[in-house]
Amino acid sequence: MADQTPLTPHKDLVVRDATDVDMADIASIYAHYVESSAATFEVEPPTPEDMKRRFDELTGNGMPYIVAKTGEQIVGFAYAGPYRSRWGYRYTVEDSVYVSKNHLGKGIGKALLKTLIDQATSRGYRQMISVIGDSANASSIALHSQLGFKVIGALPSTGRKFDRWIDSVLMQRPLGDGNTTAP
């Protein structure tokens, strides 16, 4: 049975391409995860300028980078980047999705990830990988599962943060024709 959860939990939720002016809000949302969770293995929150450099690199290479807004407030962001830099991986991307700590559980992550999947597919990518920090990150694993990702493995103790070893859960889903046809 198909998931019946609406993709837009708020009538005023808008998912759009990110712009330079969104970087301060994006950095603020991301800082929460850097400082308080194993969702990312970074330990120092990047500045808005750092986030802008990352944004410019990704979008300069044609990668999708989006934000979710309710009213005038940015409540989440997502982007796809290269899974690996070697040429053979050119049809595979890795996703990242972050939602403001004050807006969790409202379907915003799902709206972002759905849009990201659509944008990556329209750009000709064939596989999307999610590298989820911490197997205890049940909400991220559930989000990805709802949108067709399958757990393909785990890498034990690949990171260390908060004085403990943390694993990475690998999830994957095909985009478009996946591997059933040549690009």
Render pLDDT for 44-66 as a digit per residue (tens, 0 to 9).
999 999 999 999 999 999 999 99
Q: What is the pLDDT of residue 124?
A: 97
Q: What is the pLDDT of residue 9?
A: 54
Q: At a CB cut-off of 8 Å and minimum separation 6, what does 55 contact?
A: 18, 20, 23, 26, 65, 79
The mean predicted confidence, pLDDT, of the chain is: 94
Q: Which CATH number applies to 13-174?
A: 3.40.630.30
Render pLDDT for 77-119 as a digit per residue (tens, 0 to 9).
999 999 999 999 999 999 999 999 999 999 999 999 999 999 9
- pTM higher than the cut 0.85: yes
How many Å apart are CA 10 and CA 13, to the nearest integer?
A: 5
* Residue that has been written with the tokens 């005023």 in this structure: 12
Residue 104 region, left (φ>0) first, then alpha (ψ -120 to 50), else beta?
A: beta
* Residue that has been written with the tokens 């999610």 in this structure: 130
Tokens standing for 162? 């908060």
Q: At a CB cut-off of 8 Å and minimum separation 6, what does 26 contact?
A: 18, 48, 51, 55, 67, 74, 77
Tokens standing for 121? 């597919």
How many Å apart are CA 81 and CA 37, to the nearest integer?
A: 21
